[in-house]
């Protein structure tokens, strides 16, 4: 149901590092009263998600938890950072039951309600909590009338181990609630309190009124917001922040007097923090992330539960053979066009016979690469695990541009500064440029539908998934007219698209072209003879040009690499040469006298832009090619200065 901006697609945001013998002093002096220090071990995981449907790392994580429990020199507390029960490939069959059944065997002390706990609807939360043998916390999501935890959840949970009282609270920010679900919390009578106020206040209450020695906050906020929470906790009442949501490797690190840790996602890591507790305070600590590897044996009960659910459907049946790797990684699908994104949206467009198809990057899960080789039904459902159906809407050209613009993250924005500029979607039937900068006149431009320039006043049929059709991921589509509601799962649509094909080899076709700076427009003549040489005045920030990235593209997506590029240190002019005959072949359907709009793209080192994800900046020039009958030219293609 919810599609989030998960940053598991990211590389490490902040490496953290192993911290040994750190010091951390916190509040209460009412417990652990003089019997000497106690070593309390805190084990945590977060964002199990797609791993819940696979007999792989999840059963190994269960084993690792039991191993670390047994090895601990003192009491142990086990907690989760949210997003455990979705999305995963078994969602259509088991909903929350498969991961909850496995976690019941783990017997964690508490978990926090994250955005993916809402995947099955708000009413289902009470079913989730009823099936769980451990509490789910939502400290700052409260009933608007009573101020108490909303139905099925708890505000806090206190456990006592080895004479140490541990208070646990659960927090979520608006990004993990209203920002990533389609639930109208206000209309449902739920108030989302400011986690930076509620969290420290509840931690202080637990210390003063409940006599706890250690406070652990399960924060489904992502690391940057967790760090803001640590800073807001001015009295240092929160000892540890177990983080979920952005799915990064963040080794236990002290921030503003609080230990912060996140164990990436998909059962890849287990966070282990040892707290020395004496006289009601945490006096020192050490911790690290433990990787879940293939060397760890699978817990047999966890494997049995998962495989029993998998046996109910054909998740292990082969669907198609892929000759190329299919890229379902978060980092790729949020930042650029991918071959797997093209495959998904092509399937949606074919199913509805729409002009265009769009899917949100957050709806493509698993953060994995599949193939080359056999692709199974389980692979498809792993990457598209939500109960979303395929819907087609009627949009004007202007509305289509607004829809595409809604997903652009600029480099200068807060998100862009952390994770780089993003296009955040995948498309079919479209070609366009996106300019990821705050000062851009247009974030989306030069849009072509089916090879023809977009008409802002024309209407187009656009296939999307039901989540974004209802306004999910910030798409402005909630009130748009529905042409066709197929009622068919998006994953099923892709499986049906693949099954008739013996082998697939989807490619990246230049559907979404990133542009940072523009070169002057140019005009060329193409007659199939000689060379076409074009020169451009380069922008001031161009330090060097990567010659192997310079290419000319047609509106249909065909492209021709430049055979020679000249731009040296200190140069102000970029010179590009292509073979006239090859260029003529690229636009071979054109007639004598036709003017063909082409685009030249080139990557370059910029003195201005400091990219987070991309290696280089990108140039664009609009080039008009006038076709002349072959063999009738002067023996070479030619062009004067740009515009001549």
- Please tell me the distance from the alpha carbon of residue 525 to that of residue 478, in angstroms, as a whole number: 47
- Please tell me the distance from the alpha carbon of residue 128 to that of residue 124, in angstroms, as a whole number: 6
| Residue 293 token pair | 């590897």
For the CA atoms of 322, 324, 325, 330, what is the dihedral angle to 10 degrees?
-100
- Please tell me the distance from the alpha carbon of residue 112 to that of residue 110, in angstroms, as a whole number: 7
Q: Are 45 and 284 in contact (CB under 8 A)?
A: no
Question: Omega into 14 within 30° of 0, i.e. cis?
Answer: no
Q: Are 2 and 180 in contact (CB under 8 A)?
A: yes
Low-confidence stretches of the chain (pLDDT < 70) are 1-35, 314, 569, 630-644
Query: CA separation (Å) from 26 to 21, 43, 110, 195, 283?
Result: 16, 20, 22, 20, 8
| Residue 284 token pair | 């020192």
- 286 pairs with which residues across the strands? 274
Strand-by-strand arrangement of the 269-278 sheet: 19-23, 281-291, 269-278, 38-45, 76-80
Instruction: Name, in order, each residue with C-beta under 8 angstroms of 227's C-beta and a sequence gap of 6 or more.
Output: 255, 256, 260
| Residue 17 token pair | 């590092």
Q: For 418, what's the count of Cα atoms within 13 Å in the CB-facing half-sphere?
A: 15
- 577 pairs with which residues across the strands? 533, 564
Q: Are 8 and 362 in contact (CB under 8 A)?
A: no
How high is the pLDDT of residue 19?
Answer: 41
Instruction: Name, in order, each residue with C-beta under 8 angstroms of 129's C-beta and a sequence gap of 6 or more.
Output: 135, 136, 152, 153
- Please tell me the distance from the alpha carbon of residue 145 to that of residue 162, in angstroms, as a whole number: 38
In this structure, the strands spanning 240-244 and 258-263 are parallel
What is the DSSP track for 126-163?
Answer: HHHHHH-SS-EE-TTEEETTT-SBPTT-BSEEEEEETT
- Please tell me the distance from the alpha carbon of residue 638 to that of residue 226, in angstroms, as a whole number: 59
What is the DSSP-derived secondary structure letter of residue 441?
S
What is the DSSP track for 11-69?
Answer: --S-----EEEEE---S--SSS-SS--EEEEEEEE---GGGGGSSSHHHHHHHHHHHHH
Q: Are 416 and 612 in contact (CB under 8 A)?
A: yes
Q: For 359, what's the count of Cα atoms within 13 Å in the CB-facing half-sphere?
A: 32
Please report the domains of the chain, with CATH numbers, ordered by start residue: 7-270+295-307 (3.60.21.10), 314-512 (3.90.780.10), 515-627 (2.60.40)
| Residue 239 token pair | 């000892």
Q: Are 69 and 91 in contact (CB under 8 A)?
A: no
SS (H, E, C) 274-333: EEEEECCEEEEEEEEEEECCCCCCCCHHHHHHHHHHHCCCCCCCEEEEECCCEECCHHHH
How high is the pLDDT of residue 251?
Answer: 98
Taking only the tens place, the pLDDT of each residue in 218-246 is: 999 999 999 999 999 999 999 999 999 99
Nearest to 265 by CA among 366, 135, 116: 366
How high is the pLDDT of residue 458?
Answer: 98
- Please tell me the distance from the alpha carbon of residue 498 to that of residue 318, in angstroms, as a whole number: 10
- 214 pairs with which residues across the strands? 166
Strand-by-strand arrangement of the 373-376 sheet: 373-376, 318-322, 503-504
Nearest to 559 by CA among 582, 591, 528: 582
How high is the pLDDT of residue 529?
Answer: 86
């Amino acid at each position: 149901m919810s599609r989030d901006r998960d940053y598991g697609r990211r590389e490490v945001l902040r490496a953290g590092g192993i911290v040994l013998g750190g010091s951390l002093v916190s509040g209460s002096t009412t417990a652990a009263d003089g019997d000497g220090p106690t070593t309390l071990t805190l084990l945590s995981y977060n964002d199990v998600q797609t791993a819940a449907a696979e007999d792989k790392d999840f059963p190994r994580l269960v084993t690792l938890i039991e191993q670390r429990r047994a090895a601990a020199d003192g009491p142990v507390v086990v907690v989760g950072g949210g997003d455990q029960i979705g999305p995963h490939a078994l969602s259509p069959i088991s909903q929350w039951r498969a991961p909850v059944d496995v976690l019941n065997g783990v017997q964690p002390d508490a978990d926090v309600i994250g955005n993916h706990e809402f995947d099955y609807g708000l009413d289902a939360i009470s079913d989730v909590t009823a099936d769980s043998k451990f509490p789910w916390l939502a400290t700052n999501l409260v009933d608007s009338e009573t101020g108490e935890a909303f139905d099925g959840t708890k505000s806090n949970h206190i456990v006592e181990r080895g004479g140490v009282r541990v208070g646990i609270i659960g927090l979520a920010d608006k990004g993990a609630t209203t920002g990533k679900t389609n639930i109208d919390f206000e209309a449902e009578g739920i108030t989302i309190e400011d986690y930076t106020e509620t969290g420290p206040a509840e931690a202080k209450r637990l210390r003063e009124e409940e006599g706890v020695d250690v406070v652990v906050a399960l924060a489904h906020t992502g690391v940057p917001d967790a760090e803001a929470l640590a800073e807001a906790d001015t009295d240092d009442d929160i000892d540890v922040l177990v983080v979920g949501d952005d799915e990064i490797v963040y080794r236990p690190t002290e921030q503003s007097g609080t230990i912060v840790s996140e164990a990436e996602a998909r059962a890849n890591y287990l966070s282990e923090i040892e707290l020395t507790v004496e006289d009601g305070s945490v006096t020192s600590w050490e911790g690290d992330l433990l990787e879940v590897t293939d060397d760890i044996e699978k817990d047999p009960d966890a494997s049995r539960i998962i495989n029993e659910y998998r046996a109910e459907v054909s998740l292990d049946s082969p669907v198609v053979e892929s000759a190329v790797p299919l890229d379902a990684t978060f980092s790729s699908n949020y930042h650029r066009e991918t071959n797997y994104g093209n495959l998904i949206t092509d399937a949606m467009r074919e199913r509805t016979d729409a002009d265009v198809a769009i899917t949100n990057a957050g709806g493509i899960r698993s953060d994995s690469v599949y193939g080359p080789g056999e692709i199974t039904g389980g692979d498809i459902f792993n990457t598209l695990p939500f109960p979303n159906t395929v819907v087609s809407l009627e949009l004007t050209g202007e509305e289509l541009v607004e829809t595409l613009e809604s997903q652009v993250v600029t480099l200068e924005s807060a998100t862009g500064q952390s994770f780089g500029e993003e296009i955040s979607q995948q498309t079919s039937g479209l070609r366009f440029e996106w300019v990821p900068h705050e000062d851009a006149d247009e974030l989306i431009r030069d849009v072509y539908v089916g090879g023809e320039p977009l008409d802002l006043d024309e209407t187009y049929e656009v296939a999307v998934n039901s989540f974004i059709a209802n306004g999910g991921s910030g798409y402005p589509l909630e009130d748009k007219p529905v042409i066709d509601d197929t009622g068919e799962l998006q994953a099923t649509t892709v499986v049906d698209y693949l099954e008739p094909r013996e082998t697939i080899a989807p490619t990246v076709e230049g559907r979404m072209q990133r542009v940072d700076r523009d070169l002057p427009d140019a005009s060329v003549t193409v007659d199939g003879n000689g060379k076409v040489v074009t020169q451009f005045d380069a922008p001031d920030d161009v330090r060097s040009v990567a010659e192997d990235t310079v290419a000319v593209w047609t509106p249909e997506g065909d492209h021709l690499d430049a055979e020679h590029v000249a731009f040296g240190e200190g140069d102000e002019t970029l010179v590009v040469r292509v073979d006239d005959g090859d260029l003529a072949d690229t636009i071979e359907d054109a007639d004598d006298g036709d003017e063909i709009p082409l685009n030249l793209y080139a990557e370059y080192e910029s003195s201005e832009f400091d990219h987070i994800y991309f290696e280089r900046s990108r140039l664009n020039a609009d080039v008009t090619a006038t076709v002349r009958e072959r063999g009738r030219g002067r023996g070479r293609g030619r062009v004067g200065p740009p515009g001549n």
